[in-house]
Structure 1
């Protein structure tokens, strides 16, 4: 058994900021059994300038997008460096970042996460890993969601994991995973229209005062995406083009729209849980009387109104909603990207075709070496060399 120390970085479509998670991973590449401890975690919120830049990035011409790619690389590097220094983090083997998604069109063969890796690497004395999606897309996969690939190892005691971020996704012990529906991306926009001082609907309090608009709920549920079988993934462009126009804010009150959309999200998530359970039954991987536990994390898990609705619907269908600490709720995605980066450096598969639908499993991520050679940079390499030596010893 050996322990590695990694910082993971996550920026989602809801534009809350950069989630940073410093974690210890203990395990062994021979058994591939792993445990984790979150040692420090923090969210660095985007200021209005960065929110504006990220929202408008997809409209930029080529040269300006390259400039922003480099600028965000510097921003990421400085942000993580400050986190490490102010947190007095001494033991660190690598840093891993998801980046910030600007384009995601896997069916057209491309995805793009902002943040130049070589630029960010200039700030560290350890390897920096990013660009986790492109190889999977090149192999014909969706390149998303990636979190279920880490849940396979770190949350294997949880049958179903749901993440409520800008987009809600579901994972089943690394056996399956896909994007279910837009979540905070939509509700945050509606809350900001209702009150420009709000970045989200606190505890779902605005939604709770509204009523479900049956006609709009029907249009949302009829979207073609929900008819597609997994693997499948969503992007901001689809949400802007297909979802937001249905939520007419000039003809309907924001509380009613928020309540309607909350109903939509909880319906889609409940249906996804039922479909996952049915697939397990069909493959004889679940006994008929098994009650599945559902772990819900991500920013949307702090929306008390949404969670109450979801819990009632899941219980009616025979599921149990698990309780979890607030740190795990808030930083699970950053934690998992820290782990995916570590697996990349350890030459271990970190993206599975059962989740993304690609031609094969892969070791994904671009590794950027630090500016100068230091002992900590070689720690993972030394571990791999020792393992290789042990294999060759008769």
Structure 2
């Protein structure tokens, strides 16, 4: 057995999720033994720093470096929490797999940028760190994302039924797990990103608890159509996206283009954004995985009851026979799946095994992902 830590801070910019997990020596798939989990929220100043880095600006190289140092310190705090909870020491841990914070994602230009300081994290924890998972896939001609479908297949795959796993973080992505073992998937569009940004601007709240504010509104078909006209939704896979496209400025443009800026209440806009997330996910499944019979949701979106209700209705449109549940049904807390994925990627790296799926990212072939920062 070998112990790994996975660290994830996603596009929702809510904080750092950490997981401590035990892998069998020759893990090929199936149930994993989770020993501890921990979450550290971002404070407002760090969220603002990271948000500002989504766009170019004055002195951004220095600002990114300082933000990376703050992130590494938070990652180290999370590691200490995990060790305290589990009663283990740093010597017991084989490696930390850490994603970093995506601030730019431009595979069309040949790069992706996850700000991070893995060298500092290795120094602060005394544990080997594996980081920078996405850039090798892009170097091999891939999108660098999503990387989680390979992990989803390992823990959620079933040889009797087609399952689609939907990760709803800031961005939503799907993993289509065919019973034959073939895996495909891609980013479907915004997940929680625009929902969180809109309620933050209107209500000064970081997210819409249970989707209650959005549920109080009425969605606009006109605005929804304007948003779904975005070319990304018609783009063929492989594809990935991020804040570079789906951001508050994009939403403002769609409001004005549809002449809805002065006609909708704030909660109507929120309801329409819920419909956008649900519709883009459901259409992706209907169009690219019509054989799907079971859908499992992970990520923060699984906690939004209104979003889950709308998604279920959209999945059943047209008489499709699809069941919807969260990954909890399969034994893994929806909030743990992504951090587990990066622990798994660190495990794959240390065993010199590929971590990407060319059928998902479009890379030339499988690649060992990550870079090592020894303790």
TM-score (norm 1): 0.84
**Aligned counterpart, 1:5:** 3
- 1:260 matched to 2:272? The reply is yes
Is the contact made by 2:122 and 2:374 (CA closer than 8 Å) also made in structure 1? yes
* Closer, same or farther: CA 243–26 of 1 in aligned 2, 3 Å: farther
Q: Secondary structure at the match of 1:24?
A: strand
**Aligned counterpart, 1:154:** 155
1:172-321 equivalences in 2 (<5 Å): 172-173=176-177, 175-196=183-204, 198-240=205-247, 241-247=249-255, 251=262, 252-278=264-290, 292-315=293-316, 316-321=319-324
Is the contact made by 1:17 and 1:46 (CA closer than 8 Å) also made in structure 2? yes
What does the per-residue CA deviation read over 1:171-223, in whole Å, with 9 as the maximum and x for residues that have no partner? 11361111101121100111122311x21111111111111212111101111
- Which piece of structure 1 moves more, 101-110 or 34-43? 34-43
2: CA distance between counterparts of 1:323 and 1:340? 23
Match of 1:52 among 26, 37, 48: 48
- 1:18 matched to 2:16? The reply is yes
* Closer, same or farther: CA 184–323 of 1 in aligned 2, 3 Å: closer
Q: Secondary structure at the match of 2:206?
A: coil
**Aligned counterpart, 1:348:** 353
Is the contact made by 1:26 and 1:34 (CA closer than 8 Å) also made in structure 2? no
Is the contact made by 2:185 and 2:238 (CA closer than 8 Å) also made in structure 1? yes
Q: Secondary structure at the match of 1:119?
A: helix
Larger radius of gyration: 1
Is the contact made by 2:189 and 2:280 (CA closer than 8 Å) also made in structure 1? yes
Match of 2:328 among 325, 328, 332: 325
2: CA distance between counterparts of 1:28 and 1:244? 50
1: CA distance between counterparts of 2:278 and 2:373? 40
1: CA distance between counterparts of 2:345 and 2:2? 12
Q: Secondary structure at the match of 2:53?
A: helix
Where does the alignment leave 5 or more consecutive residues of structure 2 unmatched? none
* Closer, same or farther: CA 301–335 of 1 in aligned 2, 3 Å: same
2: CA distance between counterparts of 1:75 and 1:208? 34
1:121-140 equivalences in 2 (<5 Å): 121-140=122-141
1: CA distance between counterparts of 2:372 and 2:31? 23
Give the RMSD, CA atoms, in angstroms: 2.0
* Closer, same or farther: CA 244–84 of 1 in aligned 2, 3 Å: farther
What does the per-residue CA deviation read over 1:294-329, in whole Å, with 9 as the maximum and x for residues that have no partner? 111110111111111111222342111135429621
- Which piece of structure 1 moves more, 94-103 or 37-46? 37-46
* Closer, same or farther: CA 68–87 of 1 in aligned 2, 3 Å: same
* Closer, same or farther: CA 24–277 of 1 in aligned 2, 3 Å: same
- 1:163 matched to 2:161? The reply is no
Aligned length: 354
Is the contact made by 1:270 and 1:313 (CA closer than 8 Å) also made in structure 2? yes
1:22-101 equivalences in 2 (<5 Å): 22-26=20-24, 28=26, 32-58=28-54, 59=57, 60-90=59-89, 91-101=92-102
TM-score (norm 2): 0.89
- Which piece of structure 1 moves more, 89-98 or 163-172? 89-98
2: CA distance between counterparts of 1:34 and 1:4? 16
1: CA distance between counterparts of 2:155 and 2:25? 11
Q: Secondary structure at the match of 2:167?
A: strand
Post-superposition offset of 1:273: 1.1
Post-superposition offset of 1:237: 1.7
Q: Secondary structure at the match of 2:31?
A: strand
